[in-house]
């Protein structure tokens, strides 16, 4: 497994470097936003506290397990599947802030690679991380500014909209062309996989509209609903754990 992962890293070193730069950029965004919100609120508590790191580790493990259980969807090619790994990240971000959410997303990807490796030359992992953060960050930032049920709901709605937009555009502009490039196949072959499922899919635009966008909407809505339903019950437990 580790030999295979090492080979994949060596073969796709430029893409991996791009991947790491995106990770660093999202960490910086999360940190700057969170530190500014805390300063305005007069909150001097450290972002990377022991309590946060402990819960992040636990939630990252849960997210990794959930990521391994993928649900195929009838309207998308087989390499697009639904999982609920954003659920622990969103709960963790609501409890401890945007940085915690990005950390859970990152550690989840690392653990998944160590356990299962990559079958998509890291494209799938990058997609999962970026799309996940596009949902977690706006939702948790809105909730961080004002922590109440209305903000949580608004944050989840905004997060789902941004998730859908980023997931769709990122796939069209970068991920799908990069996937075709790394695997040495024409982009038309990938589009053809979508056409076999839905005749309305004839090009990259219709591919992401009919296959990628619905997946992201479903992911955002389901994760949001579950989070809204269970977070209030989990919050006291997390706060008790964090003392």
Highest averaged pLDDT of the listed ranges 16-25, 42-51, 66-75: 66-75
Using 50, 70 and 90 to split pLDDT, how confident is the model at 242?
Answer: very low
Which two tokens mark 163? Answer: 């998730």
3-state secondary structure of 97: coil
pLDDT on residue 23: 85
Q: What is the pLDDT of residues 197-235, one digit of tens each?
A: 999 999 999 999 999 999 999 999 999 999 999 988 887
Query: To the nearest 10°, the Cα dihedral for 172, 115, 71, 223?
Result: -80
Q: What is the pTM of this model?
A: 0.85
Backbone angles phi, psi at 71, to 5 degrees: -110, 115
Burial environment of residue 217 by CB neighbours within 10 A (0 to 12, 13 to 18, 19 or more): middle
Q: What is the pLDDT of residues 3-19, one digit of tens each?
A: 445 555 555 677 677 77
pLDDT on residue 184: 79
User: When comparing pLDDT for 86 and 120, which is higher?
Assistant: 86
| pLDDT, average across residues 8-31 | 77
Question: Contact, 91 vs 228, CB < 8 A?
Answer: no
Q: Which of 2-6, 95-99, 191-195 has the lowest mean pLDDT?
A: 2-6
For residues 85-96, one letter each, b for 16 or more C-beta atoms within 10 angstroms of the residue's C-beta and e for the rest, the string is bbbbbbbbbbbb
Question: Contact, 137 vs 86, CB < 8 A?
Answer: no
Token pair 């940190």 in the structure block, residue: 31
Of 190, 232, 233, whose CA–CA distance to 212 is shortest?
190
Measured at the alpha carbon of residue 11, what is the angle toward residues 5 and 12, in degrees to the nearest 5?
A: 90
pLDDT on residue 243: 41
44 vs 53: CA distance, rounded Å = 17
Show the beta-strand stretches assigned E in 97-237: none
Burial environment of residue 180 by CB neighbours within 10 A (0 to 12, 13 to 18, 19 or more): middle
């Amino acid at each position: 497994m580790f030999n295979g992962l090492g080979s994949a890293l060596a073969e796709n070193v430029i893409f991996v470097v791009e991947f790491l730069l995106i990770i660093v950029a999202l960490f910086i965004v999360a940190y700057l936003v969170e530190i500014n919100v805390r300063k305005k609120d007069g909150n001097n508590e450290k972002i990377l506290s022991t309590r946060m790191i402990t819960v992040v580790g636990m939630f990252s493990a849960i997210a990794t397990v959930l990521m391994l259980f993928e649900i195929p969807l009838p309207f998308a090619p087989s390499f697009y599947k639904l999982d609920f790994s954003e659920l622990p990240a969103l709960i963790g971000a609501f409890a401890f802030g945007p940085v915690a959410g990005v950390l859970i997303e990152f550690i989840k990807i690392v653990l998944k690679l160590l356990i299962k490796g990559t079958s998509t030359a890291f494209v799938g992992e990058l997609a999962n991380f970026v799309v996940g953060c596009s949902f977690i960050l706006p939702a948790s930032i809105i909730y961080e500014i004002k922590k109440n049920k209305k903000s949580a709901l608004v944050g989840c709605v905004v997060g789902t909209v941004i998730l859908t937009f980023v997931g769709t555009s990122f796939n069209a502009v970068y991920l799908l062309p990069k996937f075709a490039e790394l695997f040495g196949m024409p982009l038309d072959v990938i589009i053809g996989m979508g056409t076999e499922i839905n005749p309305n899919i004839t090009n990259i635009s219709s591919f992401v509209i009919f296959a990628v966008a619905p997946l992201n909407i479903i992911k955002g809505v389901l994760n949001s609903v579950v989070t809204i339903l269970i977070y209030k019950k989990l919050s006291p437990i997390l706060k008790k754990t964090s003392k």
